[in-house]
Amino acid sequence: MRANPAIPPVPLGLGAAGLLPFVGLALLVLIGGSEILGWTAGGTRRALLTYGVVIASFLGGIRWGLAVAQPNPTRAARDFVLSVVPSLLAWSTLAFPAPWDLRALGALIMVLGLLDQDLVGSGNAPPWFGRLRLGLWLGTGLALLAASAATAP
């Protein structure tokens, strides 16, 4: 068995597909191209923010799913609690003013990517998961932070 197995094609493909709305919407926000979708500039920002909130909640769900199978009750309890925090924090960014909404969400997603490395280190997720998460958090976080620059004061 290889020490550093490749990321399986299905999670890699789905992860990359999930990154496309972040990159595409961020580009539209940055270039002012919202009319391509028939949206207002605010609508494109809102779509990006809302998609990010959904994805942050999904990332918390990963930890919840792994906690269900955790044999150590202390670790499971900790992971259950940590699994709901991303949804709550991401949801709160919907009330933040621009550009802080996208900045806070981008920072949250980047922190989650780093925290998910603990899942690999503890043996609760395979090594490829950590590499996939790092690549995705980088792309997602940078897209959100770049889009926030379009509305910076």
pLDDT tens digit sequence for 86-113 = 999 999 999 999 999 999 999 999 999 9
Give the tokens for residue 22: 């972040």
In a domain, 4, yes or no: no
pLDDT band (50, 70, 90) for residue 1: very low
Q: Which residues contact 146 (CB under 8 A, 6 or more apart)?
A: 26, 30
Q: Which residues contact 10 (CB under 8 A, 6 or more apart)?
A: none
**Exposed/middle/buried for residue 32 (C-beta within 10 Å: 0-12, 13-18, 19+):** exposed
Q: Are 137 and 113 in contact (CB under 8 A)?
A: yes
In a domain, 2, yes or no: no
Determine the Cα–Cα distance for residues 116 and 97; give it in Å rounded to an integer: 28
Tell whether the model's pLDDT for residue 136 goes beyond 70: yes
In a domain, 54, yes or no: yes
Neighbours of 77 (CB within 10 A): 12
pTM (2 decimals)?
0.91
* 41-45, long-range: CB < 8 A, 24+ apart: 45/98, 45/102, 45/147, 45/150, 45/151
Give me the number of domains the chain comprises.
1
In a domain, 108, yes or no: yes
Domain that holds residue 31: 9-149
In a domain, 3, yes or no: no
In a domain, 97, yes or no: yes
**pLDDT single digits (tens) 22-58:** 999 999 999 988 888 888 878 999 999 999 999 999 9
φ/ψ of residue 115, rounded to 5: -65, -30
What is the overall mean pLDDT for the chain? 93
Return the pLDDT at 62: 95
Return the pLDDT at 36: 84
In a domain, 1, yes or no: no
